[in-house]
Amino acid sequence: MVEEFKVGVIGAGYVGLVTGACLAQIGHRVTCVDRDEDRVAQLSAGRVPIYEPGLEEMVVRNARRGTLFFTGPGGLREVVRAADVVFIAVDTPQGEDGSADLSNVAAVAKSIGSVLAAAPREKPLLIVNKSTVPVGSGDYVSMLVCDGIDEAGGAGEPAEFRVVSNPEFLREGNALYDSLFPDRIVLGADSREALEAMRSLYDPIIAQSFPTDLDPRPKVSVPLVVTDLASAEMIKYAANAFLATKISFINEVSNLCELVGADVANVAAGIGLDERIGPRFLGAGVGWGGSCFPKDVAALRSVAREYDYEPVLLDATVAVNERQRRRVISKLQHDLHTLKGKRIALLGLAFKPNTDDLREAPSLRIAGELDSLGARVVGYDPVAGKAAARLSPGLRVVFDPYEALAGAHAAVVVTEWEEVRNLDLERAASLMDDPGLLVDGRNTLDPDAVRAAGLLYRGFGR
């Protein structure tokens, strides 16, 4: 039988909401706290304000069975007092210097301290950093909780709480799967007692003993990595920085492939069979974006420079990624020459499929560049279109890919949505200016099929 924990999750954004829903799913009693009252009202009514496959259904199901609740900032005190474990899952936006802004984390930590001062506990509260935070943040949170206790007039006894680092490794569009069937769970703490409690919290996932509709169950058990606070915090940054570097590496290779006449798809398949390399994250194209890779790589570079260390490889990773955006423009200019007055269709606007996230999306950078060069830019996305129109004034958004293609001199595949992968290429060719140019920014279409339909094909490294 699952040991039930009372869990508070502070921050009901992407990470907090997924964390709360999945912990409720495996049998814990979870209350999510968010300062946005409108968001709380939507979630309490069963409406999820972000797009993530399966999340709304999971939220509704667990709210109905009485394991998942939502409250505004006024409920923070009650949640902290009742909880065995409190997750901090607030935003840590990127500062101007690339470092992580911890002001939201700091405010939450001090608020938790003020509650602890007013209501002594029988056993220590576990305070879990789920937000992506730089190395040293565990000690920083401990200090701020103590400050909150002192300012509220408490004794400031550090024994009343323990801080744990438990970084998330969620892929947007696959977040529920990654939470329930993760590659690993990472726990960092200086307290054996805290680590054992967290092991119990996650035991249904570690043992894969919770009920699931997936058949067969994809994992027998989940590896648990137990380490110190600093190492757990570094694992998160190192993982994302490595993946970003792997993508930039294959993009560098793809540019060389174009020069020497090789096909990067064949090269990636060949090197990916090496177990030391692996096949994932070897897709050449317009590069990486989103909420994690850019922010985490920037934060790690910032940490390095705090210690007067130049992270040359990470700097090159970012430089290659920036260049990939510009290569889209170069490919368009190569065939269309001037872009002034040309209609360019961007197919897909979110930074990846199955999400509405536009943070650091390549589409917005490309749209801005095209607009500055005098092109008429029209974009299609099945989910993120309205938000993209607000963020990019020079972008006209439509909600049918063929409407975007009508009269276009060129189209750029930016996000490999299913609707884009399965385009009727002959219909596309009949709608576009003759001869239509298709720049495949994700190498997701069959070049021979594109050419057979009467379109010019330009991929990356092909």
- Numbered residues of the known binding site for substrate: 169-172, 236, 281-285, 289, 352
Closest by CA position to 209, among listed 194, 197, 221: 221
3-state secondary structure of 165: strand
From the centroid of its chain, how far is CA 88? 17
Sheet holding 6-10, edge to edge: 68-71, 29-33, 6-10, 85-88, 125-129, 161-165, 185-188, 224-227
DSSP three-state, residue 204: helix
CA distances from 411 to 201, 203, 241, 365, 415 (A): 49, 49, 31, 16, 12
Give the 3-state secondary structure of residue 347: strand
**CA distance from start to end of the chain:** 55
CB 401 within 8 A of CB 424: no
DSSP string, 350-386: SSSTT----TT-HHHHHHHHHHHTT-EEEEE-TTTHH
For residue 153, give the H/E element and its range.
none
Q: Is 234 helix (H, G, I), strand (E, B) or coil?
A: helix
370 in Cβ contact with 344 (< 8 Å): yes
Supply the residues annotated as catalytic.
Answer: 292
Q: Which of 385, 382, 376 is nearest to 406 (CA)?
A: 376
CA 421 → CA 162, 266, 446, distances in Å? 49, 20, 9
Q: Are 458 and 284 in contact (CB under 8 A)?
A: no
Residue 457 to residue 450: CA distance in whole angstroms: 6
Angle at 354 between CA 8 and CA 402, to 5 degrees: 150
Q: CA separation (Å) from 394 to 333, 365, 373?
A: 19, 11, 11
Tokens (6 digits) for 307:
């210690």
All residues at 6 or more sequence positions from 244 whose CB lies less than 8 Å from its CB, including other chains: 288, 293, 296, 297, 317, 321
